[in-house]
Structure 1
């Protein structure tokens, strides 16, 4: 005769959650061990209500990415084993709840790092390329030594190119970085100390000559919905903000190494929260600002393998993870160049890429289920494609 006695409910405050590792590369599986304990603190062996247990993984974007499948009953060992699959780069949180209450050690942080597998090397006709973005299924590259900006299709076949016409008071076009406003392309012009704006690949206007001294990186308001433009000035050691009328309304930074100060800011990006992410060449760090308050919200010291790295190009993926191209050492053959990756909270997510010479801009994009990074290898006159 079956017993009507209900199965005991595990105690959330006494049950324990452990992972077999806290770091693994994307595409890996990680084991999870859940020891269920009753109210007296003893493991529940071969009994207990597993139906009261809920497990799920919170992805880096804060959404539930997968449910954790536990066995139907508590095994004789008393340890419920499960598998977590890592399908996004970044910091995950593994949650286990009993009757809605988080158990001991939950959530557990699980870091999913980059693979950085080299897929393709592209070498279209260009000389000292410097920055790259994706735009309307094409790639836009600043072809610095050819004094032009080039547009390539998805296979890096030339599709278009544009120049800034020489005129009185404006010398040869010296394109550094490029961004899309949602309506126009804006390009920093290093030699002419300004930003040149193009509409339908034709020069529309230029701005910033009165205040810019060495304009480098450029970024546009969140998701391209805001026409405002941010420009990193490497010589003024600050970020200038230009409104939709292209008037400078405020600046962020000032030379120094304290929080909120900058030393040779090079590249910029805007994350999903509208915060400004800045790579600092001489301070060897990435600094994140709230542009409304003009204050830093996070500083990431860029260190790897016991070295400090000069920070150069910068890009973000769909989860706001930070990709920064870096170099350590000054001499060719004695220097190292890579891409280092950090989560928004500063956790290190891995390193990829080698054999660079004058590594600069980078862009990260999705293609189907893949996340791809395209890295500008300047002195080798090529673009390298990596699967993240």
Structure 2
């Protein structure tokens, strides 16, 4: 702002990425002799913000301004190493964490400090082989778990097997997510598509098909649903994230996952309260020289930064809000541990 005298008629605020709250900008009461007025604004949320400035209630020319608040040096808060063997995916339910303990053929439940509190397996049945849990999601009443070996989804109620579905459709079920209406979406990395199952767990439609064009998929691994009900998919072989409108069954955008001049294999996927996309990635195929990180993108595809190192087969991730803090819990599979980061 340029001028002199009182600027009591000037107001400014920062709109948060989700548009639900605003942070007021505190200008000084008097413009200094230089004629330039400055205000320092601290962003407390990762993502794309909008900065608005008004004079006498009228927004000035050039406002709002897009301001990207990226991932800073993320603080590794804690490392948890409970008894697990090749953990694969994680989700949070109130004060509990649920982890697919893949090589132990079970799903484990932990308290907030990752002390074991419960564990469960698939139903004992003559037509079910060894339980191979891959990904887990919460429907609001039940837990749904993809079973790679049995080509199905196992649904648990109160940690007890409730029903099995998808055997007639699924070949290699990987990621799983739950829509606002209670429908379940399952990524099939061998059929290269996403299947939707309604509340009755009947298959209603699928999205995708093998390829690299917009709307096509190649080895979809993990899924998430954003606040608009759109489906977010990490594609392992296409090295990208793709967003779909499941109601229209149409693609919305592609986010090419690149960092430090490289393309990265996309693995785990999670969203924060602002729909920012966290994807666990890997470059290289051999232990000892592969590089693994978590990359963060705004919903529109703007790159927000990277964090994490020392992973060995990084996999699932979940992002939660704790007071004013945003916390990310990353599954470090071959190191058999969960890492907690503060954004």
- Note the C-alpha offset of 1:52: 2.6
Count of aligned pairs between the two proteins? 342
Q: Is the 8 A contact 1:56 1:64 kept in 2?
A: no
Distance 2:126 2:31 in 1: 81
Aligned to 1:275: 230
Report 1:57-68 matches (<5 A). 57-68=14-25
Aligned to 1:52: 9
Q: Which moved more, 1:66-75 or 1:83-92?
A: 66-75
- Note the C-alpha offset of 1:383: 0.4
Q: For each residue in 1:346-367, what CA deviation from the matched residue of structure 2 results, as whole angstroms up to 9, or x when unmatched?
A: 1111100000001000000112
Q: Is the 8 A contact 1:242 1:249 kept in 2?
A: yes
Q: For each residue in 1:113-156, what CA deviation from the matched residue of structure 2 results, as whole angstroms up to 9, or x when unmatched?
A: 12321011100001000000001310000000000000000110
1:189 pairs with one of 144, 147, 152: 147
Q: Which moved more, 1:269-278 or 1:52-61?
A: 52-61
SS in 2 for 1:372: strand
1:199 aligns with 2:157: yes
- Note the C-alpha offset of 1:100: 2.9
Distance 1:106 1:136 in 2: 39
1:358 aligns with 2:288: no
Distance 1:264 1:151 in 2: 28
- Note the C-alpha offset of 1:227: 1.9
SS in 2 for 1:140: strand
Q: Which moved more, 1:292-301 or 1:185-194?
A: 292-301
- Note the C-alpha offset of 1:64: 4.0
Distance 2:333 2:116 in 1: 18
Aligned to 2:194: 239
Distance 1:157 1:184 in 2: 22
Aligned to 1:229: 184
- Note the C-alpha offset of 1:74: 2.4
1:102 aligns with 2:59: yes
Aligned to 2:36: 79
Q: Is the 8 A contact 1:166 1:172 kept in 2?
A: no
Aligned to 1:69: 26
2:168 pairs with one of 204, 210, 231: 210
Aligned to 2:251: 296
Q: For each residue in 1:327-349, what CA deviation from the matched residue of structure 2 results, as whole angstroms up to 9, or x when unmatched?
A: 01111122100000001111111
Distance 1:54 1:151 in 2: 49
Distance 2:141 2:27 in 1: 51
1:284 aligns with 2:239: yes
Aligned to 2:68: 111
Q: Is the 8 A contact 1:131 1:376 kept in 2?
A: yes
Q: Is the 8 A contact 1:274 1:290 kept in 2?
A: yes
Distance 2:334 2:131 in 1: 19
- Root-mean-square deviation (CA), in Å? 1.1
2:207 pairs with one of 235, 252, 259: 252
Aligned to 1:22: none
Distance 1:366 1:74 in 2: 38
SS in 1 for 2:61: coil
Aligned to 1:385: 340
Distance 1:204 1:165 in 2: 8
Structure 1: gaps of 5 or more residues: 1-33, 36-43
Distance 2:179 2:225 in 1: 7
Distance 2:145 2:9 in 1: 57
Q: Which moved more, 1:256-265 or 1:65-74?
A: 65-74
Structure 2: gaps of 5 or more residues: none
Distance 1:300 1:100 in 2: 37
Aligned to 1:27: none
Higher RCO, Cα 8 Å, sep 6+: 2
TM-score, normalized by length of structure 2? Answer: 0.97
SS in 2 for 1:86: coil
Distance 2:26 2:114 in 1: 44
